[in-house]
């Protein structure tokens, strides 16, 4: 198999020397855990105070991980990626809002993003967070509710509120189905995930009859998710629809462990990274074994997992651009994986968020925390950038 993730010339061909040096400075700073820890705590506070820090954020972490504040700005990034055979998962970075008017506005924005994506040849998917469409507290209530015959619980006002959430999601999925755009439903904290899973499976049952439009996200740092993946596939087969899944390791590990410890319940998180890696790779294998009825997005920054999936495709004689398999990494990270996969003919995309700085701050803080908590991730990014700058200088 002629695929390597060590080719930095391919990985960073789309970046100028100035952009690479800026990225080197950022990842060099994030390489210090104390710096990231302080930054992720004080940045949201400073944003609320009105202090003039927008320019600093825009020129550093925002520029590295976000496409722009508007669709127009993000379009420029999308065109650059397209020049290198890289597709885009477009994400309107709204989450954690409150109020019915905000949720309705977010629904309209998601539909605008779908309509825009349909005009671009390299944007096959958009991403949706249910916390952009529903109250966090409502999701938590439903997560804890007993499974009554109604499917939710017996509080009439909250049933009506949930019906509005379902209607918003239906509108988004219907618009996507009409335009042929995939909808990736993000995974969230375990204590609100159950109603998200149920809603997403319901939408799959409606819209995934002939083509996969709706995808659920499965976080395999949870020890119950490999079983959930297989159960989801069984349900899809029983009910006659195609399963769409995005496989990730996860983004809430520290928060999950802290809450479990504070509230005295068993942690949903794997015992250690080896179990997460094992379940992730097993999930990849399961989906590739069932590509006729499953469409999978391998969303990973782990080089072994991506190479393992690519090797499986070659061993089974499956085309690199098979309609039911796709690779993806976050914009601003793991360019060595993304661009080398694209050059080798695989279907691969960058997850590209956009939105006003104040709205994408939660996303940016997760990226900073993730780069600090994933063993060696920041160091790997830093060393690859250094290697490419040295290559260009020589």
pLDDT of residue 148: 47
Rounded distance between C-alpha atoms, residue 197 and residue 217, angstroms: 9
Does 306 map to a domain? yes
Does 84 map to a domain? yes
Does 106 map to a domain? yes
pLDDT of residue 52: 59
Cβ 192 vs Cβ 139: under 8 Å: yes
Does 140 map to a domain? yes
pLDDT of residue 159: 84
Q: Strand locations in the chain, DSSP E?
A: 87-92, 125-128, 182-185, 214-219, 243-248, 294-299, 325-330, 348-354
Does 1 map to a domain? no
Q: Answer yes or no: is pLDDT of 274 > 80.
A: yes
pLDDT band at 251 (very low <50, low <70, confident <90, very high): confident
Q: Answer yes or no: is pLDDT of 376 > 70.
A: no
Rounded distance between C-alpha atoms, residue 298 and residue 328, angstroms: 6
Q: Answer yes or no: is pLDDT of 349 > 60.
A: yes
Q: Answer yes or no: is pLDDT of 147 > 70.
A: no
Residue 265's CB is within 10 A of a number of other CB atoms, namely 10
Does 2 map to a domain? no
Can you list the pairs that 313-319 forms with residues at least 24 positions away whose Cβ atoms lie under 8 Å? 313/288, 314/1, 316/288, 318/288, 318/291
| Alpha helices per DSSP H over 156-292 | 156-179, 190-207, 225-239, 253-263, 273-289
pLDDT of residue 374: 52
pLDDT of residue 107: 95
The more confident residue out of 37 and 296 is 296
- Print the domain residue range for 84: 8-393
Look up residue 297 and give its two tokens: 């997005």
What's the gap between Cα 120 and its chain centre? 20
Look up residue 46 and give its two tokens: 């400073």
Task: Kindly report the average pLDDT of the chain as a whole number.
Answer: 89
Region 245-249: what's the mean pLDDT?
97
pLDDT of residue 288: 98
Does 148 map to a domain? yes
Does 339 map to a domain? yes
Q: Answer yes or no: is pLDDT of 149 > 60.
A: no
| Nearest to 246, CA basis, from 196, 209, 313, 175 | 196
**CATH code for the domain of 72:** 3.20.20.220
CA atoms within 13 A on the CB side of 17: 5
Q: Is the dihedral of CA 271, 226, 379, 353 positive or negative?
A: negative
Let me know the angle formed at the C-alpha of 342 by 178 and 383, rounded to the nearest 5 degrees.
125
pLDDT of residue 150: 45
pTM of the model: 0.91
Domain tally, the chain:
1
Rounded distance between C-alpha atoms, residue 309 and residue 300, angstroms: 11
Region 107-133: what's the mean pLDDT?
95
What's the gap between Cα 212 and its chain centre? 17
């Amino acid at each position: 198999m002629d695929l390597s993730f060590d080719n930095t010339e391919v990985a960073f061909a789309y970046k100028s020397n100035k952009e690479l040096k800026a990225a080197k400075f950022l990842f060099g700073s994030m390489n210090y855990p104390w710096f990231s820890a302080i930054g992720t705590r004080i940045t949201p506070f400073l944003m609320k105070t009105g202090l003039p820090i927008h320019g600093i954020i825009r020129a550093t972490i925002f520029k590295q991980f976000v496409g722009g504040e508007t669709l127009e700005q993000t379009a420029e990034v999308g065109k650059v990626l397209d020049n290198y055979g890289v597709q885009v998962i477009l994400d309107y970075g709204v989450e954690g809002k409150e109020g019915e008017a905000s949720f309705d506005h977010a629904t309209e924005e998601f539909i605008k993003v779908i309509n825009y994506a349909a005009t671009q040849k390299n944007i096959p998917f958009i991403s949706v967070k249910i916390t952009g469409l529903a109250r966090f507290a409502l999701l938590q209530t439903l997560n804890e509710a007993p499974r009554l015959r109604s499917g939710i619980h017996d509080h009439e006002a909250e049933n009506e509120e949930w019906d509005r959430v379902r209607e918003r999601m239906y509108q988004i999925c219907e618009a996507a189905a009409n335009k042929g755009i995939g909808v990736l439903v993000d995974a969230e904290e375990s204590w609100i995930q159950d109603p998200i899973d149920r809603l997403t499976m319901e939408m799959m049952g409606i819209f995934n009859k002939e083509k996969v439009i709706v995808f659920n996200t499965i976080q395999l740092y949870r020890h119950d998710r490999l079983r959930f993946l297989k159960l989801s596939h069984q349900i899809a087969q029983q009910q006659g629809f195609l399963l769409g899944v995005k496989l990730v390791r996860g983004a809430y590990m520290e928060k999950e462990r802290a809450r479990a410890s504070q509230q005295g319940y068993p942690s949903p998180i794997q015992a250690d990274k080896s179990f997460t890696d094992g379940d992730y790779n097993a999930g990849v294998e399961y989906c590739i074994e069932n590509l006729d009825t499953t469409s999978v997005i391998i969303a990973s920054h782990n080089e072994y997992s991506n190479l393992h999936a690519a090797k499986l495709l070659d061993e089974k004689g499956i085309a690199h651009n098979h309609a039911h398999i796709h690779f993806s990494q976050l914009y601003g990270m793991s360019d060595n994986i993304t661009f080398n996969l694209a050059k080798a003919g695989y279907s691969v995309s960058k997850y590209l968020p956009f939105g006003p700085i104040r709205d994408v701050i939660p996303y940016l803080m997760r990226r900073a925390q993730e780069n600090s908590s994933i063993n060696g991730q920041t160091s790997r990014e830093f060393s690859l950038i250094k290697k490419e700058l040295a290559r260009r200088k020589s």
